Chains A and B, each alone.
Chain A
Amino acid sequence: MLGPPLAWMLIFYLAALAVLFVSAFWSIDAFTGKLTHAWTLTNFDTILHSSTYHQIAFRTIWMAVAVTLTDALIAFPFAYYMARVAPPRMRTILFVLVLLPLWSSYLARIYAWRLILNQDGALNWSLAKVGLPEQSWAFTNTAMWIVFSYIWLPFMILPVYAALERIPDSFIEASRDLGGRNWTTFRRVIVPLALPGLAAGSIFTFSLTLGDYITPTLVGNVDFIGNVIYRNVLGLTNNLPFAAAYATVPLIVMAVYLTLAKRLGAFEAL
């Protein structure tokens, strides 16, 4: 049953990836701007030896790590409350609240943040009201960090919620029965059993941050991997082979990341 659709998917996915990978070894004629189908390592050479591209790659990875950690920290208590404390009605309400942003336009939400974080935006207005100094986060890494953490948060909450909700009450009772106080039970039973959920959520937050170019464009002022690729595909330079070569960077990072996540049982939690 699963065979043919799966094969189909694989062909599509692998074909696209193969084309991407092959085209990374082509180049653009510097004068005519025409695609040259000759094998060359120029693109990889540029990426490996240009400090600009290093910086962009590290900045992107660093942001993905920061966003993932932030989302994990916010999502855990929230998901815990949802799964193990909230009465059923409250749980439904929270579920809707978590999902609600996903039903509205992603662009609109990022724009909304732009309005909030602007020098004369809603945040500074509120800060002034309560007598706090104003912030100037607009178009900084801080702004990107806040916005990324916000837009990907549901993708962390849901798998963590699923993992926490699945823990049978008898495990917690068994721990208490064997002498585990609340904190011990939390640390030795609940957190380890939620770990696969956290790992699964982190795959989403990490890879979504790694590949996004809209948030940096709208609320940031520096390049991310996604921006470089975008500009080379559709922008002035139109250097498709270079875009392809640079796109292998997040692919490799993700491959490493998935291997680590698998160790933590992320795929059993999905």
Chain B
Amino acid sequence: MATPALADSEPAAHPVPAAELDVRLDGIRKTYGDVVAVDRVDLEIPAGEFFTLLGPSGSGKTTTLRLIAGFERPDEGHIELAGADVTNRAPYERDVNTVFQDYALFPHMTVAENVAYGLRVKRVPRAERKRRVEEILKVVRLPELGDRKPVQLSGGQRQRIALARSLVNTPKVLLLDEPLGALDLKLRQEMQIELKRIQREVSDVGITFVYVTHDQEEALTMSDRLAVFNKGRIEQIGAPAEVYECPATEFVAGFVGVSNVLERDGKKFTVRPEKIRMQFDEAGDGELGRIRDVVYVGMFTRYIVELDSGGELTVVRQNLETSSQEALESRGKRVRLEWRPEHTFEIERGGNE
């Protein structure tokens, strides 16, 4: 479970002046035959932000990224990069670089040649090329591997080289499509930290990161802001804490974290599992229920509670005093759940932006 720190920054809902915007999508729509891959998406990403597109498989994240890169043309809408309309420009005319999910390193070139490719086709002089390649290989911490061929690298190393090949061009915007998807869990967590470090290190040139993932934990831990995609539409845009704690729709509540949606008096609301206090006495305020299931997760235990007045809530408790034995034995017990009214958020059905 990711529990991001509460963001004290104000919600980024108000529009950013166009000059500081790196990416602006305006009513973008893209269809493939009958499939609507991206449906009227509006997006504004200010310069230097780490912005994540989060959503389930097939929700249109990759398509959105490919539209920004220029590999696809939208059926409707406009794309602006740094204030300029690039809707009809080819990829090589956009100041944007992509890190591909399969890395797409050129197999016939060495690592150094791969990294130098962008500079080379832009006719950067040899000496400067060499200097910048060496520099960026240091940033991704692989300064020794310049002479190898891509096949001689491990998955994690390829990932870093793909990153270096894009970053060396210091694009305005860096697009990353599930760049850590092919790595194992441990390496993925390492690379998450690495990516943030690298973004900080190149931040003097101010590269905006647009990151695609379907892993909510990754999205919550890495992003400045994120957009939750569902069926080609954006359901919510906000800082991780905002999206996590005040999901705007039932879909977001379910996809980002545990759903925990209750319907009372015709209204739907959600409350996050760690905000619920579980008491084993039945006297007092709150909802009564019975523990249906207990999942011991080490640091904490997850309880699934069936409520008497209908519905089900997941409750998370840190294992401060309870042992695993005690936790597991509480299955079937009657409990009372309490939470503070300010920790509940009313949600609407369907799409809300």
B62, chain A: closest CB distance, angstroms: 12
Task: Show 28 residue pairs from A and B whose CB-CB distance is below 8 angstroms, ordered by the A residue.
Answer: A168-B102, A168-B104, A170-B102, A170-B104, A171-B106, A173-B71, A173-B100, A173-B104, A174-B98, A174-B100, A174-B104, A174-B106, A175-B106, A175-B121, A177-B70, A177-B96, A177-B98, A178-B117, A178-B118, A178-B121, A178-B166, A179-B118, A179-B169, A181-B90, A188-B117, A189-B106, A192-B108, A193-B108
**A-B residue pair count with CB separations less than 8 angstroms:** 60
Overall SS of chain A's interface: helix
Candidate in A168, A177, A179 with the most chain B CB atoms within 10 angstroms: A177
- CB-defined contacts of A54 to chain B, threshold 8 Å: none
Nearest opposing residue in chain A for B177, CB measure = A170
Bin chain B's interface residue count: 20 to 34
Nearest opposing residue in chain B for A265, CB measure = B108
- CB-defined contacts of B100 to chain A, threshold 8 Å: 170, 173-174
| B286 at interface by CB-CB < 8 Å | no
Q: How far is the CA of A175 from the CA of B98 in the complex (A)?
A: 10
Contact A178 B169 (CB under 8 A): yes
Q: How far is the CA of A184 from the CA of B102 in the complex (A)?
A: 22
A156-180 near B? 1/0 per residue, CB < 8 Å: 0000000000001011011111111
Q: How far is the CA of A268 from the CA of B97 in the complex (A)?
A: 31
| B81 at interface by CB-CB < 8 Å | no
- CB-defined contacts of A184 to chain B, threshold 8 Å: 121
Q: A173-B71, A173-B91, A192-B108 are in contact. Are A179 and B102 (CB under 8 A)?
A: no
A150, chain B: closest CB distance, angstroms: 32
Q: How far is the CA of A171 from the CA of B100 in the complex (A)?
A: 9
Nearest opposing residue in chain A for B175, CB measure = A177
- CB-defined contacts of A188 to chain B, threshold 8 Å: 117, 121
Nearest opposing residue in chain B for A180, CB measure = B121
A residues contacting B by CB (< 8 A) are: 168, 170-171, 173-181, 184, 188-189, 192-193
Closest 7 CB pairs of A and B: A178-B118, A170-B104, A174-B104, A176-B91, A192-B108, A180-B121, A179-B121
Q: How far is the CA of A199 from the CA of B121 in the complex (A)?
A: 26
| B172 at interface by CB-CB < 8 Å | no
Nearest opposing residue in chain A for B122, CB measure = A179
Q: How far is the CA of A177 from the CA of B91 in the complex (A)?
A: 5
Contact A193 B107 (CB under 8 A): yes
B86, chain A: closest CB distance, angstroms: 13
Q: How far is the CA of A193 from the CA of B69 in the complex (A)?
A: 24
**Which B residues between 91 and 111 are near A, CB-CB below 8 angstroms?**
91-92, 96-98, 100, 102, 104, 106-108
Nearest opposing residue in chain A for B96, CB measure = A177
- CB-defined contacts of B92 to chain A, threshold 8 Å: 176-181
- CB-defined contacts of A175 to chain B, threshold 8 Å: 106, 117, 121
Q: How far is the CA of A174 from the CA of B117 in the complex (A)?
A: 10
Q: How far is the CA of A189 from the CA of B117 in the complex (A)?
A: 10
| B165 at interface by CB-CB < 8 Å | yes
Candidate in A168, A174, A176, A188 with the most chain B CB atoms within 10 angstroms: A174
Candidate in B100, B108, B166 with the most chain A CB atoms within 10 angstroms: B108
Nearest opposing residue in chain B for A195, CB measure = B108
A39, chain B: closest CB distance, angstroms: 49
Nearest opposing residue in chain A for B165, CB measure = A178
Q: How far is the CA of A224 from the CA of B69 in the complex (A)?
A: 57
- CB-defined contacts of B70 to chain A, threshold 8 Å: 176-177
- CB-defined contacts of A174 to chain B, threshold 8 Å: 98, 100, 104, 106
Q: How far is the CA of A188 from the CA of B91 in the complex (A)?
A: 17
Q: How far is the CA of A180 from the CA of B97 in the complex (A)?
A: 12
Nearest opposing residue in chain B for A192, CB measure = B108
**Which B residues between 104 and 130 are near A, CB-CB below 8 angstroms?**
104, 106-108, 117-118, 121-122
- CB-defined contacts of B104 to chain A, threshold 8 Å: 168, 170-171, 173-174
- CB-defined contacts of B121 to chain A, threshold 8 Å: 175, 178-181, 184, 188
Q: How far is the CA of A189 from the CA of B70 in the complex (A)?
A: 19
Q: How far is the CA of A175 from the CA of B96 in the complex (A)?
A: 12
- CB-defined contacts of A176 to chain B, threshold 8 Å: 70-71, 90-92
A260, chain B: closest CB distance, angstroms: 17
B208-235 near A? 1/0 per residue, CB < 8 Å: 0000000000000000000000000000
B211, chain A: closest CB distance, angstroms: 16
- CB-defined contacts of A193 to chain B, threshold 8 Å: 107-108
Contact B97 A177 (CB under 8 A): yes
- CB-defined contacts of B107 to chain A, threshold 8 Å: 193
B38, chain A: closest CB distance, angstroms: 18
- CB-defined contacts of A177 to chain B, threshold 8 Å: 69-71, 91-92, 96-98, 166
B117, chain A: closest CB distance, angstroms: 5
- CB-defined contacts of A168 to chain B, threshold 8 Å: 102, 104
Nearest opposing residue in chain B for A173, CB measure = B71
A186, chain B: closest CB distance, angstroms: 12
A262, chain B: closest CB distance, angstroms: 16
Q: How far is the CA of A192 from the CA of B106 in the complex (A)?
A: 10
Q: How far is the CA of A176 from the CA of B71 in the complex (A)?
A: 9
Q: How far is the CA of A193 from the CA of B165 in the complex (A)?
A: 19
Nearest opposing residue in chain B for A171, CB measure = B104
B163-180 near A? 1/0 per residue, CB < 8 Å: 001100100000000000
Q: How far is the CA of A179 from the CA of B121 in the complex (A)?
A: 6
